Structure 1
Amino acid sequence: PWLGAGRIILLEPRRLAARAAARRMAELLGEEPGGTVGYAMRMENRTSARTKILVVTEGVLSRMILDDPELPGVSAVIFDEFHERSLDGDFGLALALDVQGALRPDLRLLVMSATLDGARVARLLSGAPVIESEGRAFPVDIRYDQRSPGTAIEDAMAMAIRTALAEESGSLLAFLPGQREIERTAERLRDRISADTDIVPLYGQLDNKTQDAAIRPSPPGRRKVVLATSIAETSITIDG
């Protein structure tokens, strides 16, 4: 009842995660983004008059509050992945708290994090209740590869990927420092892995379509190797 006709604003710190979250929620409703669930970020907007859940990046939220501090039509603001802590994210929460205290006592604020100290954040939110969720946990097997100082990271990574593909089933996610390392590693893998395995890059300079394709499940009977920068370290799930 408290929501009424208002919107829910969901803050995601990363553009890729914002699009993925909006797409997943829309998919659960049998829709495309831009209907009940939409997203807005710099240079990209998929919303409509029907949008009830709006996923935004940090700068968009700050501009919304600065443009109209009362946040008309907004019933709740959710700050996801708050442990990533950025100037824009902290500024957005400070603005939202100011709006709630001075103009909108009915505005609901929710801060979510997998690792942050919930009690400290609760005190910041005037003693807000802390809700804990276990979520899903998966077994992790850590193996260390002894790389000599003279070995290029691309050579070591390509070798580790080929070994993992031979020993394990499913797809693979590998992290590299930047675009150039990704491109060089991809070159070392081409024609040296099985034909049913796709090599997929994932970094910030790629267009949205290519980024979104990288996190989608592989077609039946195929595997993929996602070569990513830190863009894929948090906030998203790559199936398979």
Structure 2
Amino acid sequence: MSAPSFPIASLLPQITASLADHPRLVLEAPPGAGKTTQVPLALLDAPWLEGRRIVMLEPRRVAARAAAGFMARQLGEAVGETVGYRIRFENRVGPRTRIEVVTEGILTRILQDDPLLEGVGALLFDEFHERHLAGDLGLALALDVQAGLREDLRIVVMSATLDGERLSQWLDAPRLTSAGRSFPVAVSHFPARRDEALESQARRAIEQALAEQPGDLLVFLPGQREIGKVEAALGHSPALGQAHVLALHGELPVERQSEVLQPDPDGRRRVVLATNVAESSVTLPGVRVVIDSGLAREPRFDPNSGFSRLDVVSIAQASADQRAGRAGRVAEGVAWRLWPASQRLEPQRRPELAQV
């Protein structure tokens, strides 16, 4: 696949030119624009990079592997040559690697072990709207390195759903906005029955969508426990027919994750039960229906124990919009929300720093 097929292609020269004049940049690009895979490749030959490496932060392991694999295929290479990745317990980086996709903990360790960032010319923070604690810490450390030791270091903050104007003012950085690529998505709220459990409501929505809508289904659930309950609820459903039920979460083995990111080899419809790992940076082929529980499992500080714990909480409106947009990546789609239309969500996700 060539770069011109992505909406962000026309903006790439401006991105390179902006970084030649200013060491920081805020880039807003909707899902499907191609920012994750096209921006690092476009910067490889920038004169200011001087042959140094590009390190891109990808908050989730699934997305880090997928992004590195896609970029490597565009170059006609294997992962570990020009493009590689480093995640927990896995390192696919070689001596010729110029683009490293890393997860949040890895980036923090890189910055602590080597404050000068020897051989690194640019740091890219993808999906910054997720505002994880490690991501915010990584950006703070990077800005400190840039201010005190490496004025030539370039820092790019990228996301589909962030407050770009406020962030660009805070970073004192130019702001560029890319067009997206998506088809219309009809959003509606799928009603729950009285005292109905989430897995029962999700099952009814899945069965109805299989009967009424074309394409694959992507079902957003809070975590592995809920995925297991919905899988069990679907176990004997005659409405499934030949549809293939798959799970997608960060703890799956690499082979299982790769299976979900590819079309079904037998041409069957798929029902993908996913955590918010599928919310950004990962494209699932064939999805025309999104069923969204409106919930996620996120860390919250517990004053009684003095530690943080994972709680099931309502997502922000920005996350809901991003999830719904997954139904419009390949054709017109529908998004069914499993919460009442009267329920109001917070506009943006609260930074993890504020609640752990």
1:99 aligns with 2:162: no
| Distance across 1 between alignment mates of 2:122 and 2:176 | 17
Match 2:188 to one of 134, 143, 151: 143
User: What is the Cα deviation at residue 153 of structure 1?
Assistant: 1.9
Note the 1:78-89 alignment, pairs <5 A: 78-89=124-135
Which deviations, in whole Å up to 9, do the C-alpha atoms of 1:95-151 show, x marking residues without a partner?
1111111111111111112122222222233x3211110111331212222212332
Equivalent residue for 2:197?
152
1:182 aligns with 2:227: yes
Which deviations, in whole Å up to 9, do the C-alpha atoms of 1:24-64 show, x marking residues without a partner?
11111122211111000111111101111100011111111
- 8 Å Cα contact 2:104/2:134 also seen in 1: yes
1:67 aligns with 2:113: yes
Q: 2:177 aligns to what SS in structure 1?
A: coil
- 8 Å Cα contact 1:80/1:113 also seen in 2: yes
Which deviations, in whole Å up to 9, do the C-alpha atoms of 1:140-183 show, x marking residues without a partner?
21222221233222222112111111111111101123223222
Q: 1:88 aligns to what SS in structure 2?
A: helix
Count of aligned pairs between the two proteins: 239
Which deviations, in whole Å up to 9, do the C-alpha atoms of 1:191-228 show, x marking residues without a partner?
52455421101123322221232122223622210011
1:5 aligns with 2:24: no
| Distance across 1 between alignment mates of 2:142 and 2:226 | 40
Q: 1:187 aligns to what SS in structure 2?
A: helix
- 8 Å Cα contact 1:196/1:221 also seen in 2: no
Identity %: 54
Equivalent residue for 2:72?
26
Kindly provide the amino acid, as one letter, of the partner of residue 182 in structure 1: I
Unaligned segments of structure 2, at least 5 residues: 1-46, 287-356
Q: Higher strand proportion, which one?
A: 2
| Distance across 2 between alignment mates of 1:210 and 1:37 | 22
Q: 2:48 aligns to what SS in structure 1?
A: coil
| Distance across 2 between alignment mates of 1:210 and 1:52 | 28
Equivalent residue for 1:162?
207
| Distance across 2 between alignment mates of 1:32 and 1:159 | 43
91-100 or 226-235, which moves further after superposition? 226-235
- 8 Å Cα contact 2:83/2:99 also seen in 1: yes
Kindly provide the amino acid, as one letter, of the partner of residue 189 in structure 1: L
- 8 Å Cα contact 1:39/1:47 also seen in 2: yes
| Distance across 1 between alignment mates of 2:82 and 2:159 | 25
Unaligned segments of structure 1, at least 5 residues: none
| Distance across 2 between alignment mates of 1:79 and 1:168 | 36
| Distance across 1 between alignment mates of 2:167 and 2:128 | 10
| Distance across 2 between alignment mates of 1:47 and 1:108 | 21
Equivalent residue for 1:43?
89
| Distance across 2 between alignment mates of 1:142 and 1:232 | 18
